[in-house]
Amino acid sequence: MRRFSQRSSLVTLSEINITPLLDLAFVLLIIFVITTPLLEPALPMRLPTGGQPEKPLNPRDIRTVEITALGAYTLDHRPMRIDQVESELIKDHRSNPNMVVSLRADESCRWKDVAAVLDRCQRNGISRISPKTDPSKRP
């Protein structure tokens, strides 16, 4: 009996424990299953060639419409009524078709005030509207 116990203490373990390897394999499999759909394009398509690259915006092409919390409108820091803002934007858009409307609205203003500006721009063919947010106040 004594020889058997001495012999087993000197024998090295010749089997590899594969449980940690299987855990690693399953974790990698799960990671690949989750990330593979993100790497594929949403729709397989070939885009046509041609056209012109987008030009950088000229500061003279930007018109800023601001809406306060009380619903007051300003166009380029000049207080105006909504119909005055509309007529000025139409006039500026006719003279400069590259005009971009930068829309800044207070976070507590009414949605109907913002929708009024968007609707009037859309009705008059002004399609380049850029709503502004404050990136430093992310939730």
Per-residue pLDDT tens over the stretch 56-107: 777 788 888 888 888 888 888 888 899 999 999 999 989 988 888 988 888 7
CATH assignment of the domain containing 76: 3.30.420.270
Helix H or strand E segment including 115:
helix 111-123
**42 in any annotated domain:** no
**101 in any annotated domain:** yes
Look at residue 3 and tell me whether its pLDDT is greater than 70.
Answer: no
**12 in any annotated domain:** no
**109 in any annotated domain:** yes
Q: How far is CA 81 from the centre of its chain?
A: 32
How many domains in the chain? 1
Boundaries of domain holding 103: 59-134
Rounded CA separation 77/116 (Å):
19
Helix H or strand E segment including 75:
strand 73-75
Single pTM value for the model: 0.56
**14 in any annotated domain:** no
Tokens of 40: 């594929």
**50 in any annotated domain:** no
CB 99 within 8 A of CB 61: yes
- Whole-number pLDDT of residue 54: 53
